[in-house]
């Protein structure tokens, strides 16, 4: 969703069982969302180390979203509860690092919620685009 | 350094329509490690797979990236292809450029750009892939079927016929489910009991089937081939193996005013009861909520009349733990509650009934012995109005109804209307509908018979209001075809309530870690190609727990689920997922963080000797992962403070490489 011609770079971590399948369903139903969103498949949202989120910001990502199964529906019983706690902790410190809180999100998308996946990504991409480029954590040594 | 081959699939025009596949193949050629790159119309076809195999041999590839559809679709296919060419199957990665690229983006430059980035991430990951070898686990040759309706019974019979032991867990005192409550079945008008009860008896007599009635699943552990399930066998206060089902206790029980749930509360049963004459097992059950003896110790009549001595007021719930190789969910459906549908006056008038109640009213074994009468005054109804789609296809009324079509209502309403006109030609029967949906063998013919031969008045339009006035029910409706408002004085109104999954399905799905859709129906592993399997390995779906279904469909799905279970149980061993956690003992400091977050108890600690640089021997406590128990979620990898835990197939450095490749 380009705002003033600016296209953000968004990394989405999706759990294999719910959200990745939800993204596939969005595809099956041809539900559009911005190409700015690039999905990385992980077995469970709890595989996402907060370090990966920071790494993405460091390398120039403008937004990072982590999607998992709805609470109570985790394929591994309890993984998404860990995600929720870990990310709440990480997000609470992002301000301190100079990253706007709105650039990160944890969302629950089930395998049957293709429409929710597309809607979430549209909304997130719009929010991130309105914030503009994320410069503050970018390690300039990474960009030649 | 890996030698990677990139294979870009056109998927006909599915990918090639929005992604310039040549450009993708060309761009990925320059990625580190890539020695070969090509594109082809259908990579999954025989010819496409041969291109991959030939390239693996000709270019001595050590890694493969296929840019194609979702890995959930063809990862297995391409892994097999690689292993046929002598490459470790776990050296294959898929870049999903169909579901997550070409199908969701519209213009070619955008699609192509994103496809290149996704391909780049996959290449970066493969560069760090390592060959993995799956382990093996034993298969317990016993199946569990949860739910004893027609779906569960049929599945159990089919599995038992193949020679495998099956347990059926049914929460009611008898198996039979909803079908046992029905009178006739469409479109053949077979008597439901005549075709169901022999199957119930077959199940009871089959030596491979054990029926655990009045029981519920309490806990599920383990994994495909090796589930451990705890089942609560509720106290029925009657010794099941001694009770002969003679019914003497039922006759003598003084507690006569218990609403009979089998007849949907339209008549009463005793506190000790056998749900219906053909119940299996035919054993009495004492309802602890109503029995005077159990409530305040005053009565004991049933124990005195029981010549077999089967009554046991001290019986307690029993917990049974059993191991199973496969689990079939057959929890079925329920009609939704009509309490919120005030416009139809369901709670105001006894003569506004649900279709299932109508079914009991016309059933020879029902509360009126099959005589159709008004529940309020026992009089014969002359004008009957059927209302379809009550709570089904309800966009605007989502808080009280369902958005989906309940599928079976059109046909059973046609059946009810037809049978009413057949038995009581003096009645006027109206059916109000939004659409009449009759896809199915001989279904449309059946509906047309109701209209043409039996003179049922089908009116397109919804009923706006039912108001009880004295003896009659004033039905206000619109006829959409003539555009007129209709006012009908009805004696009986029958509501075709939407159906929803049984309430036990949600907690069960959590226990099984099987996924559900937004309506609480179980999701299948693939909507078209794997309709009877849940995405959770070893869990199968049978009947209406997966979506609204009629009896023929349920029976065929039950058979399909059984054949999948048999296919699993005939194997002696299963290969296990090698993408499991692994601890680097040199980095592990034995802190127990990983053990605390592991949902499977796969992590244990051992004391291990380490030779230090100064040649001294040090004994340290380090984590060890049991690969047969680990399911590969990765929770431990993040919990580990020293970074000793990693997940094969999804190593931290691999995910970071993907992040870097995307953010480049």
State whether residue A103 sits within 8 Å of chain B by CB. no
Residue range of the domain that includes B643: 581-648
Return the residue of A nearest to B519 by Cα.
Answer: A112
Question: Do B650 and A47 make contact, defined as CB atoms within 8 angstroms?
Answer: yes
**Distance between CA atoms of residues B475 and B493, nearest Å:** 9
Are B176 and B36 within one domain? Answer: no
Question: Do B599 and A77 make contact, defined as CB atoms within 8 angstroms?
Answer: yes
State whether residue B70 sits within 8 Å of chain A by CB. yes
User: Is residue B625 assigned to a domain?
Assistant: yes
Are B351 and B458 within one domain? Answer: yes
Are B181 and B324 within one domain? Answer: yes
> Is A138's pLDDT higher than 70?
no
Alpha helices in B147-207 (DSSP H): 150-161, 192-205
Please name the residues in contact with B459: beta carbons below 8 A apart, sequence gap of 6 or more.
B430, B431, B432, B433, B477, B479, B486
Q: Which two tokens stand for residue B269?
A: 């049963």
State whether residue B111 sits within 8 Å of chain A by CB. yes
Give the up-direction half-sphere exposure of residue A48: CA atoms within 13 A in the CB hemisphere. 36
Q: Give the CA diameter of chain B.
A: 104
- Output the pLDDT for position A134: 84
State whether residue B128 sits within 8 Å of chain A by CB. no
- Output the pLDDT for position A139: 65
Last residue of a domain, one of B81, B97, B126: B126
Distance (Å) of CA B378 to CA B72, B156, B381:
58, 41, 9
3-state SS assignment for residue B460: strand
- Output the pLDDT for position B184: 95
Last residue of a domain, one of B126, B159, B179: B126
Number of domains, chain B: 5
User: Residue B561 sits in a domain of what CATH number?
Assistant: 3.50.50.60
pLDDT tens-place string over residues A70-95: 998 898 989 999 999 999 999 999 88
State whether residue B516 sits within 8 Å of chain A by CB. yes
Alpha helices in A12-136 (DSSP H): 19-28, 50-58, 79-97, 114-131
Interface ipTM > 0.90: yes
State whether residue B234 sits within 8 Å of chain A by CB. no
User: Is residue B657 assigned to a domain?
Assistant: no
Are B390 and B430 within one domain? Answer: yes
Terminal-residue alpha carbon distance, chain A: 27
- Any idea which residue has 């706006």 for tokens? B464
Walk me through the domains of chain A, giving residue ranges and CATH numbers: 10-135 (3.40.50)
Give the up-direction half-sphere exposure of residue A120: CA atoms within 13 A in the CB hemisphere. 25
User: Is residue B240 assigned to a domain?
Assistant: no
Q: Which residues of chain B have pLDDT under 50?
A: none
Residues of A in contact with B104 (CB under 8 A): 26-27, 30-33, 118
Are B371 and B491 within one domain? Answer: yes
Are B271 and B152 within one domain? Answer: no
- Output the pLDDT for position B650: 97
Are B422 and B341 within one domain? Answer: yes
User: Is residue B210 assigned to a domain?
Assistant: yes
State whether residue A87 sits within 8 Å of chain B by CB. no
Question: Do A77 and B513 make contact, defined as CB atoms within 8 angstroms?
Answer: yes
Residues of A in contact with B656 (CB under 8 A): 51-52, 55
Are B476 and B510 within one domain? Answer: no
**Distance between CA atoms of residues A17 and A73, nearest Å:** 10
Are B487 and B518 within one domain? Answer: no
Residues of B in contact with A90 (CB under 8 A): none
Are B360 and B216 within one domain? Answer: no
If pLDDT is split at 50, 70 and 90, which confidence band does A5 have? low
Give the up-direction half-sphere exposure of residue A13: CA atoms within 13 A in the CB hemisphere. 31
pLDDT tens-place string over residues B397-448: 668 899 999 999 999 999 999 999 999 999 999 999 999 999 999 999 999 9
User: Is residue B311 assigned to a domain?
Assistant: no
Contacts 24+ apart (CB under 8 A), B602-605: B602/B626, B602/B629, B602/B630, B602/B631, B603/B636
Question: Do A40 and B652 make contact, defined as CB atoms within 8 angstroms?
Answer: no
- Output the pLDDT for position A72: 84
Residues of A in contact with B535 (CB under 8 A): 17, 21, 75, 111
- Neighbouring CB atoms inside 10 A of B641's CB total 11
Q: Which of B17, B104, B507 to mutate to test the interface with A (most CBs of A within 10 A)?
A: B104
If pLDDT is split at 50, 70 and 90, which confidence band does A1 have? very low
Residues of B in contact with A134 (CB under 8 A): none
> Is A2's pLDDT higher than 80?
no
User: Residue B80 sits in a domain of what CATH number?
Assistant: 3.40.50
Question: Do A35 and B101 make contact, defined as CB atoms within 8 angstroms?
Answer: yes
User: Is residue B173 assigned to a domain?
Assistant: yes
User: Is residue B394 assigned to a domain?
Assistant: yes
pLDDT tens-place string over residues A25-72: 999 999 999 999 999 999 999 999 999 999 999 998 999 999 999 998
Are B354 and B213 within one domain? Answer: no
User: Is residue B574 assigned to a domain?
Assistant: no
């Amino acid at each position: 969703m380009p705002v003033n011609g600016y296209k953000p770079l968004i990394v989405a971590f999706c759990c294999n069982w719910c959200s990745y399948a939800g993204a596939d369903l969005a595809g099956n139903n041809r539900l559009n969302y911005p190409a700015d969103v690039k999905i990385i498949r992980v077995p469970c949202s709890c595989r996402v180390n907060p370090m990966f989120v920071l790494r993405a910001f460091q390398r120039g990502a403008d937004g990072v979203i982590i999607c998992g199964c709805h609470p109570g529906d985790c394929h591994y019983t309890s993984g998404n509860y860990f995600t929720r706690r870990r990310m709440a902790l990480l997000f609470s410190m992002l301000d301190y690092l100079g990253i706007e809180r709105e650039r990160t999100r944890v969302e629950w998308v089930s395998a049957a919620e293709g429409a929710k996946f597309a809607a979430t990504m549209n909304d997130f991409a719009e929010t991130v685009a309105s914030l503009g480029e994320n410069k503050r954590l970018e390690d300039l040594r990474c960009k030649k | 350094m890996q030698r990677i081959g990139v294979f870009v699939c056109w998927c006909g025009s599915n990918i090639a329509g929005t992604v310039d596949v040549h450009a993708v193949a060309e761009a990925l050629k320059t990625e580190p490690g890539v020695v070969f790159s090509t594109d082809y119309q259908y990579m999954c076809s025989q010819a496409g797979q041969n291109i991959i195999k030939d390239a693996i041999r000709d270019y001595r590839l050590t890694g493969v990236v296929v840019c194609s559809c979702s890995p959930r679709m063809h990862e297995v296919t391409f892994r097999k292809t690689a292993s046929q060419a002598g490459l470790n199957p776990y050296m294959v990665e898929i870049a999903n450029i169909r579901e997550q690229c070409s199908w969701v983006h519209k213009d070619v430059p955008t699609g192509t750009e994103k496809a290149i980035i996704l391909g780049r991430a996959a290449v970066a990951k493969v560069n760090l892939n390592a060959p993995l070898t799956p382990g093996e686990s034993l298969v317990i040759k016993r199946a569990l079927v949860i739910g004893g309706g027609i779906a569960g019974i049929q599945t159990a019979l089919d599995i038992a016929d193949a020679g495998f032991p099956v347990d059926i867990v049914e929460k009611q005192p008898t198996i039979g489910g909803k079908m046992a409550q029905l009178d006739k079945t469409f479109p053949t008008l077979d008597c439901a009991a005549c075709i169901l009860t022999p199957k119930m008896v077959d199940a009871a007599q089959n030596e491979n089937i054990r029926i655990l009635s009045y029981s519920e699943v309490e806990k599920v552990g383990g994994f495909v081939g090796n589930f451990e399930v705890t089942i609560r066998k509720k106290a029925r206060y009657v010794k099941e193996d001694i009770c002969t089902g003679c019914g003497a206790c039922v006759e003598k029980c003084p507690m006569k005013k218990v609403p009979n749930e089998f007849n949907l509360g339209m008549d009463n049963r005793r506190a000790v009861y056998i749900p219906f004459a053909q119940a299996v097992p035919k054993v009495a059950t004492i309802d602890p909520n109503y029995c005077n003896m159990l409530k305040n110790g005053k009565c004991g009549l049933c124990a005195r009349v029981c010549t077999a001595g089967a009554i046991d007021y001290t019986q307690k719930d029993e917990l049974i733990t059993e191991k199973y190789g496969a689990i079939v969910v057959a929890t079925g459906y329920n009609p939704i509650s009509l309490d919120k549908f005030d416009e139809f006056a369901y709670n105001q008038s006894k003569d506004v009934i649900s279709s299932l109640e109508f079914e009991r009213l016309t059933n020879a074994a029902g509360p009126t012995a099959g005589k159709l009468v008004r529940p309020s005054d026992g009089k014969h109804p002359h004008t009957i109005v059927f209302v379809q789609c009550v709570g089904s296809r309800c966009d605007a009324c989502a808080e009280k109804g369902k958005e989906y079509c309940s599928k079976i209502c059109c046909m059973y309403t046609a059946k009810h209307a037809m049978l009413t006109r057949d038995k009581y030609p003096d009645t006027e029967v109206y059916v109000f509908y939004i659409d009449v949906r009759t896809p199915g063998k001989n279904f449309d013919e059946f509906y047309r018979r109701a209209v043409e031969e039996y003179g049922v008045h089908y009116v397109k339009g919804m009923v706006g209001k039912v108001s009880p006035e004295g003896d009659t029910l004033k039905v206000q409706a619109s006829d959409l075809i003539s555009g007129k408002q209709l006012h009908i004085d009805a004696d009986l109104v029958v509501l075709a309530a939407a159906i929803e999954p049984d309430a036990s399905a949600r907690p069960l799905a959590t226990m099984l870690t099987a996924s559900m859709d937004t309506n609480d129906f179980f999701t299948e592993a693939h909507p078209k190609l794997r309709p009877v399997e849940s995405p959770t390995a070893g869990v199968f779906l049978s009947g209406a727990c997966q979506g609204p279904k009629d009896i023929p469909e349920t029976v065929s799905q039950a058979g399909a689920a059984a054949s999948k279970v048999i296919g699993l149980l005939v194997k002696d061993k299963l290969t296990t997922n090698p993408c499991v956690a692994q601890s680097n003992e040199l980095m592990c400091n034995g802190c127990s963080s990983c053990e605390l977050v592991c949902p499977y108890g796969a992590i244990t600690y051992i004391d291990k000797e380490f030779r230090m640089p100064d040649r001294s021997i040090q004994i340290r406590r380090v984590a060890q992962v049991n690969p047969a128990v680990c399911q590969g979620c990765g929770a431990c990898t993040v919990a580990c403070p020293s970074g000793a835990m990693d997940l094969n197939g999804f190593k931290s450095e691999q995910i970071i490489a993907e992040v870097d490749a995307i953010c480049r």
